[in-house]
Amino acid sequence: MAATAANRRVILKDYVEGYPQEEHMELLPATEVPLRLTSDDPPGSVLVRNLYLSCDPYMRPKMSRPVRASYTAAFVPGSVITGYGVARVVDSADPRLSPGDLVWGITGWEDYSVVKPPVTAFLSKISHGADGGVPLSYYTGILGMPGLTAYVGFHEICAPKAGETVFVSAASGAVGQLVGQFARLAGCRVVGSAGSAEKVELLKTKFGFHDAFNYKEEPDLAAALARCFPEGIDIYFENVGGAMLDAVLLNMRVHGRIAVCGLISQYNLKDGEKDAVRNLFAVIAKRLKLQGFIEPDHKHLYPKYEEWVLPYIRDGTIAYVEDVAEGLENAPKALIGLFHGRNVGKQLVRIAADDE
């Protein structure tokens, strides 16, 4: 093994207002880094080779100048961007991880990362992995944060009952495509919205949504929902916010539940420009529950989720579509594309081969 390797890094150059552009990020020229931990690294650190990086909507709020506490600290201009990924352990001072182990969790947008203790707060060992018949990249999605997000949001927050109606926005995305399929498996009638004819087709064919519509082609979202849900919506899995939420509120049924997972339509708007939500009287009139949640609060459910979902992946009951960009140099563009709906399915970036 070489004593050093070339390490490229993607940093955030400055805080972003509005839509992120490629010039907000920068791929720094490679530097040589040691291929083992050094005395500079805190005791208990782990050195990993990053293989896949995940592009997730929650990363956008972290790119804004921090004005108030959020659930996740803002990125630091000049520092490497961090996010979910899949990696291979190169050197470990944590007894629970050994060189060669595959892990998923929070890592850096760079070829090699030193993950500082408490390492298990950031990284989970992959027990199934590439040789379990499941692509390793799935640990950025269906077997990672988005998968547990979909499971917790749908099953724990919304408590679905067979026969109920479910609406999912951003339904072809990493989380949405799973919620749709979980809903179908739960015996619900599920409808999704997406932003292109291609995605709508994917919802109806590949993911088994009972119906779907292209929100960009609907002059009246409330009317589109009324058409798809003549009896109203029992469960809304909220990924977009803004005008869609306002339209959904008018179409909810009594005692409906809304899992508030993401508000991607709002992330690139400045504070004073956020879309107005005006139909909140429906929350009383229909006795609705809206509940926000984030995956890290529910980590303890991961083993239960993994055990439940793996057989469905292996036997093809649940389909999963990824949009894979190649190379660290294309990571910024891939992340930016999320906010324009350019991805079809889960957006991730492959920065090294599985066996590298």
Summarize as ranges the residues that interact with a copy of itself (CB under 8 A).
61, 68-71, 241, 245, 250, 254, 260-263, 266, 271-272, 274-294, 297
For a copy of itself, the closer CB: 61 or 147: 61
**In the complex, minimum distance from the CB of residue 306 to a copy of itself, in angstroms, rounded to a whole number:** 23
**In the complex, minimum distance from the CB of residue 245 to a copy of itself, in angstroms, rounded to a whole number:** 7
For a copy of itself, the closer CB: 89 or 233: 233
**In the complex, minimum distance from the CB of residue 277 to a copy of itself, in angstroms, rounded to a whole number:** 5
Kindly state the tokens that stand for 18. 């509005």
DSSP string, 89-140: EEEESSTT--TT-EEEEEEESBSEEEEPSSGGGTEEE-SS-GGGTS-GGGGG
Handedness of CA 209, 211, 217, 222 (dihedral sign): negative
For a copy of itself, the closer CB: 196 or 291: 291
Kindly state the tokens that stand for 351. 């920065």
CA 103 to chain centre: 17
**In the complex, minimum distance from the CB of residue 236 to a copy of itself, in angstroms, rounded to a whole number:** 13
How many CB atoms lie under 10 A from the CB of residue 337? 16
Burial annotation 205-240 (CB, 10 A radius, 16+ → b, else e): ebbbbbbbbbbeeeeebbebbeebbeebbbbbbbbb
**In the complex, minimum distance from the CB of residue 343 to a copy of itself, in angstroms, rounded to a whole number:** 21
184 to 56, 163, 215, 334: CA distances (angstroms): 24, 10, 21, 30
Name the nearest CA neighbour of 90 among 60, 76, 110, 63: 110
For a copy of itself, the closer CB: 3 or 276: 276
- Give dist(CA 312, CA 307) in Å, integer: 10
For a copy of itself, the closer CB: 159 or 197: 159
Angle, in degrees to the nearest 10, between helices 176-185 and 197-204: 30
Q: Are 256 and 161 in contact (CB under 8 A)?
A: no
For a copy of itself, the closer CB: 126 or 168: 168
**In the complex, minimum distance from the CB of residue 238 to a copy of itself, in angstroms, rounded to a whole number:** 9
For a copy of itself, the closer CB: 77 or 292: 292
CA 313 to chain centre: 18
For a copy of itself, the closer CB: 30 or 269: 269
- Give dist(CA 305, CA 295) in Å, integer: 12
- Give dist(CA 85, CA 106) in Å, integer: 6
Q: Are 297 and 148 in contact (CB under 8 A)?
A: no
